[in-house]
Chain A
Amino acid sequence: MIQIENLTKIYKGIAGEVLALDKVNAKINPGENIVIIGKSGSGKSTLLNLLSGIDRPTSGKIEINGVDLNSLSEGGLASWRGKNVGIVFQFYQLLPTLNSLDNILFSMALVNKISSNHRRKKALRHLEEVGLGSKYNKFPNELSGGERQRVAIARSMANDPGLIIADEPTGNLDSKTGMQINDLFRLLNRQGTTLITVTHATIKEEEYNQVFAIEDGKLSQVNQNIVLS
């Protein structure tokens, strides 16, 4: 269960303060497939950053499975994130000096949730699942944009997280690859993983349990509690 209460984020810059999120409230049940839609600069990525704990709110509260993220230290937050959240960044954020397989193994080694004897086998399986089994030894600069994104998705699955947060996962991909990625996410969701995706693209509402729209930092619900077939 994810509970968001009065979540506000203000960025302080040279030009002054920018209100990125304005008292956002939401409730997400375990295993749901959620999408947040909005234009560029609306606050989508800020919300995902706060949900994944890679940034801190100015005020308000996020509670995930009974854990108040505000109560965790920077180190505690990192450990919690590693064990519970898989993140897919818009620009992949793969480590350039590690090949596909090592990027996944590295993530596993950091968190130490998966037994070291099973890591390699499991990482290769994830790469197979995203269709990159044969490219396990390729470095990020040797892969196409879609392939990099698929490695990033495989990495997000590395530690069997209960929640996967994806920031514009298909934003930089062609439509065919985008569809493949969406299929992959749906598969993960069917296996019980809570999925939160943000996008500025057109979506099929029926594919999601809840659809949120965000504009000028304000979150509104478009539909809710749809039971997916």
Chain B
Amino acid sequence: MKVILIKLLRDFRRAKLKLMLMILAAGLSSWGISSMLYSYVLTNRDFEENFIETNSADMALTIENFTPGLEKILLEVENIDDLEIRQVITGRVRDNRGSWMPLTLFIVDDIGDIRYDKFTILDKANRTDGKVLIEQNAFFFLNALQDSLQIQFQASDSIVNWKLNGKVHDARLAPARMEGVVYGYSTSEDLVESFIPVNRKRILLKTTVSDDKEALEQLFEELKQVINSNEAKIVSYTIPEPGKHIHQGVVDGIAFLQEGGGISLAIMGTILLSLILLTWIFPQITEIGVMKSLGANSTELLKSYLAVLILIILIGICIGLPVGYITSMSYSRFIAYFQNFIPVTRVLPLQYHLLVFLLTLTIPILFGAYPLIKSVNASAIDAMTKTFYSPLSSVLQLSKSSLRNPYFTYGLNNLLRHTTRTICTVALIGLGITLYFTSTSVEYSIREDMDDYVKKAFYEIGIILPEKLSSNKLSFFDSMDVIQSVGLMNVVRANYLPYNESYSKTVLMRKLTNNVIIPESHFLRGTLAKSSCETCIYVSGEEMRKDFQETEIGDWFEIKYSDGRSQSFKLAGVIKDQAAIPAGFFVYDTISNQSIFNGIAVELGENLSEDDIFRVSNQIDDQFLDRGISLRSRISVTQRADSILNHLDPTFLIIKLMGLFTVVLGLMGLFIVLNLTIEERTRDIGIIKALGAPFRKISRIFILEFLSISLVAILIGAFVSIPIAKKLISTLSGTVIGHPVLFQQHWIVMMISVLILCLLQVSICMVFNRLKMKHSARELLDHQF
């Protein structure tokens, strides 16, 4: 074995390029596998330590007419373990550019004694006059050095200047930079009394039935009875789904992307390794035959070749593993940014590294060993004459009867002669094409979808008021020329149980007056009821579309309001409404235009620019402010679309880079395969040349062969990319996919892409053929150059 091993290692002196390519492929393979595994471990660790271990509350109730006595009574209810009072106040705060931003302030009894949904105080000034701690992510908008913040609460006309007391980090909140909302904590009792009704309290409950959805729902019913019997009332309630972050959808999308990318990288790397291994071993097949005829047995040969393979993979791991770890660290930081986590920087325990090492070593060996075993197990005579491969006879019979063109027959038979290599090549190019098509389709489709939505939106600005107002207080809209119509609505919280889920979800229900018309073009399923229908309900948004995909139009289902009341509705349609934040229900209620409302849908005139919409939005803000009303939210469809796209920009960049990378990798694979094929078919080229074929005819034969492989790979890649792109679009954007993926819509664009890829391939093929063609037929036949 030692002699064979030394010979093999010496052979690399004559094949330095192949050796480098093999190490590169091994490196790519270990990079792909390790980055996928490390990313999984690191992001899970971040999630565990930042989120799961923060001891979340099982239930949150907002109770009106709350008394200290009720606290004791609630604690005595069976299955209630503990409770903590935490108020929430909303308002707005002046940012470092002088503009107002939404503010959500959590009021706790003692900042040092937080029991549930724990947060970390990062930097506390310990000022005696300090009143507010701001969530660290919001310091992007606020001047970190300023010690005073201008704040206005919803219930107050006046603006207060509050001293900043430091930074906190709450991993359960969405990052302020993404949401455009400033979160903060305060303990001021004065504040509560001044700005929140003293008898309204928000309490967090910890129970002994945390993981039992049914028991929690039952407990809620029990609590409702207890609270009602004590002359108090539940205003709203939430039972959060355990282990789900507020940005879980975005994170799931990126995780899907990362897993897909990692797996693709690993597969491409291992395929590349196999292909390069074939280029290395093919010229040695004759030598294997000679060594066998001289007495070397298959086991010795296999051991020697495997030893070389393992050595190459180990060198590849030395490069790929650290790069994979660095990639995963960057990825976990990226995910941490989305989740408002502080990434854990502790070095991973040794056992994880060992596991990753073993997998990065084993997977390429499993792939790479196949051509080795096949070659080494051939008989001496077969190896010496290289005839142990034979075309698949059944397919050949078919080719004989159906292909009259000998060029096609020759090309097809050659592809079949090396079935493993052909499959590897198709897989390699197909994978590259899949990711390329997916990456180009995802961004295109989401942007097109947003543009389309903005153009067809049935209202341009959506407003949610802090409290219900009588419609006569909204008469100022009539004086604004650019406003075409104003639809009034009541916005309430509603809970529903999604299909096949055990936890109910809380969304907004918009009760519309009859003058708000949803255009037919916005219906993905169902239609607007022809006449008034109080029991008809419409759902909007991608997440809800999925939740109701099993519900037929006309099916009845139950929703539960925040105060515990239930009502049944029949599904009348699924509509596309990106501006409905969060996604929710629409129902037409029997409310007159003179009633009181807390939601407004504003439809503007035609052909308004983004600047015009921005100006009108500010005018609306001012009008409300003049009347002492601070809006809970006001957003235009353009802002909503921009916000979604801004959220997705880093992801788009990753997808594009991944698509580009895989295409480059695919072309690299193709380069290797072409090199190998032309190299081993030198004698064939010599024969063809001797038979009278000029350069262009020989080129045509090879081009035809590779184009047919590419065509199959492109077709497979294109079809596979459709479901992947759809899944990615829906997971990433969280919006309804109105547009099909790119090449379903734009054949020309995709054909040009494919043409460019084919031209690249043809160019590579021509260059290689040209290099061979400069030799005479005799040199090619004798392989003497």
Contacts and interface: CB of A to CB of B under 8 A. Distances in A.
A87 B409 contact: no
Contact of B400 (A49, A83, A85, A137): A137
Contacts of A95: 410, 684, 687-688
B689 A54 contact: yes
A78 B414 contact: no
B693 interface: yes
A23 to B, nearest CB: 20
Contacts, number: 99
A98 B693 contact: no
Interface in A63-89: 74-76, 78-83, 85, 87, 89
Interface in B347-371: none
A102 interface: yes
25 contacts: A54-B778, A54-B781, A75-B695, A78-B689, A78-B694, A79-B692, A81-B692, A82-B691, A82-B692, A89-B690, A96-B387, A97-B410, A98-B409, A102-B406, A106-B410, A107-B691, A109-B407, A110-B691, A111-B691, A111-B692, A111-B693, A139-B390, A141-B390, A155-B691, A159-B692
Given A54-B781, A102-B410, A105-B406, A110 B773 contact: no
Q: Which of A79, A83, A93 has the most CB of B within 10 A?
A: A93
B405 interface: yes
**Interface SS majority for chain A:** helix
A200 interface: no
A52 interface: yes
A97 B414 contact: yes
Contacts of A79: 692, 694
The list of the 8 closest CB pairs from A to B, nearest first, reads A82-B692, A75-B694, A54-B777, A97-B413, A55-B778, A106-B406, A110-B693, A105-B406
A102 B696 contact: no
Interface in B736-785: 773-774, 776-779, 781
Interface residues of A, number: 38
A56 interface: yes
B410 A54 contact: no
B391 interface: yes
A229 B693 CA distance: 37
A209 interface: no
Contacts of B778: 49, 54-55
A210 interface: no
A147 B31 CA distance: 53
Given A98-B413, A106-B409, 13 more contacts: A54-B689, A54-B776, A74-B773, A79-B692, A81-B691, A93-B686, A93-B687, A98-B406, A98-B409, A102-B410, A106-B410, A107-B691, A111-B692
Interface string A162-202: 00000000000000000000000000000000000000000
Q: Which of A95, A98, A99 has the most CB of B within 10 A?
A: A95
A89 B777 CA distance: 12
B417 interface: yes
Interface string A22-52: 0000000000000000000000000001001
Nearest to A76: B694
Contacts of A108: 406
A138 B407 CA distance: 18
Nearest to B683: A93
Q: Which of B387, B691, B778 has the most CB of A within 10 A?
A: B691
B678 to A, nearest CB: 15
Contacts of B684: 95
B777 A55 contact: yes
Given A95-B684, A102-B409, A75 B776 contact: no
B7 interface: no
A96 B409 CA distance: 12
A85 B779 CA distance: 19
Interface in B694-711: 694-697
Contacts of A81: 690-692
A166 to B, nearest CB: 13
B506 to A, nearest CB: 67
Nearest to A123: B406
A99 to B, nearest CB: 7
Interface string B395-411: 00000100011110110
A94 B776 CA distance: 18
A74 B778 CA distance: 12
Interface string B529-548: 00000000000000000000
Nearest to A13: B784
Nearest to B403: A102
Nearest to A97: B413
A129 B686 CA distance: 27
B773 to A, nearest CB: 7
A205 B615 CA distance: 108
